[in-house]
Structures are given as C-alpha cells and as structure tokens.
Amino acid sequence: MSDKKGKPVPLANEGLPPGERGLFCDAPPREYAPAAKIVEDFWNWARSQSLWILGFGTGCGAIELRPLMTSRYDMYRFGIQPRPTPRQSSVFVIGGYASVKTLKRIVRSYEQMMGPKFVVALGSCTINGGMYWDSYNTIKRIDQYIPVDVYIAGCMPRPEALLAGFQELKRIIRAGKAEGQNLYARDFERYKANQKRVIKDWNMPDYNW
C-alpha cells in the first residue's frame, strides 16, 4: 500500500447515528502499489485465472448468468465461479438497470469486496440508461458511481457475449490495466459526491470495509 499523500483525512460517516460511527471504517480507500513487474505479472495471470463473481443480480440481465453456470456454456472452464459474499468475490457483475435503491446496495457490496476487484457492467441500461432512460428512479450510467472495467452491450447480452466480455476482462487484467479499484481510490471524493447526489437518504458508512 502506498501512503504517499500522508495520512488521509478521516471520513465523517455523518449518515450514521453517533454511537455507530466507531464501528465502521474511518479512512478512505488507498491505491494499490504494484510489486516488481515480474511478480505483479505473475499475480495478474493468477488473478485472471480465478474470477469469482459476486452472486448479486442487480437487474434483468442477471438472468443471463444462469445459463453460464450450467453445462451448456459452463463458465467454470474459464475459472469463473459465483460466490455468495462480497468478501470472497473479485468480480462484480452489474446485471443491468440499477435503481437508486439498488445502487445503495451496489456501493456497499463493491466497497466490501477485497482487492483486487473488477466490475463488469452488462446491458445498455448500465451504459446509457437503456430503456430506462426516462425513469424517475433509475440511474443512467453506472460508471458515475463505481468504476467499470468492461462493458458488455446488449439488451440483454447473450451468454456468448458475456463469455467474450469475461475473456476481455482477463486480457485487461493480464495486461495490468484493470485499474478500476485504483480509480475509485484516486477519485474517491468525486465518486462519493456522485453517489450522495442521487442517494438522498444516505444512512450508511462513507466507506464500507
């Protein structure tokens, strides 16, 4: 962990009742400082070969993950498997439209994931609002609120497209370019400001570690 900028400003956690503030993380996330190139390359190869996705279907596109799990498309042969908790997952699949209510859970889950972590967003809804472009309660682009490594277009994308997207993610990881997590740490304040602009009843910690 790099600590170049000195001690980070402690988080206010103002959304929480005073008695609970001490229970949660009080420091913003920090950027990951890579090890020597050859070591990091090896790690990146290992990371790309074991993508554990968080089993949290956030929109209608999540239905396309089911065929991936079964024998016809069989994502396990690519080293991809679902996990029940963010603590064990390295890939977050945003499965389509995200209402503000879901966005709260997305932010909490994303922040709880251990690094290194990656985000795959599928469906036109995550890219530009899709058919929910005029909805009163659905955000129009997910990358304002959490960083996204790979987009998969379609409404909804077929399982083959998902597999292609995962292969693309692997390429990005192996090339050491999956920088979402660092982007989030670097632009933490902007992401938080965006999140708080749409989540009007902010009653959760500022960083969920």
Distance in Å, CB of 97 to ligand SF4, minimum: 4
For 149-179, b where at least 16 C-beta lie within 10 A, e where not — what string?
Answer: bbbbebebbebeebbebbeebbebbbeeebb
Q: Draw the binding track, 68-97, toward ligand SF4 (x: CB under 6 A; -: no contact).
A: ----------------------------xx
Helix (H) or strand (E) holding 150: strand 150-152
161: contact with ligand SF4 by CB under 6 A = no
Binding partner of 87, given ligand SF4, another protein, none, CB within 5-8 angstroms per partner class? none
Binding partner of 61, given ligand SF4, another protein, none, CB within 5-8 angstroms per partner class? ligand SF4
Residues at the site binding another protein, with contacts judged by CB under 8 A:
100-101, 104, 127-129, 133-141, 144, 194, 197-202
Among 124, 181, 182, 195, contact with ligand SF4 (rule: CB under 6 A): 124
What are the CA-CA distances from residue 10 to residues 6, 29, 79, 106 (Å)?
12, 11, 38, 23
Q: Which of 23, 22, 44, 47 is nearest to 35 (CA)?
A: 44
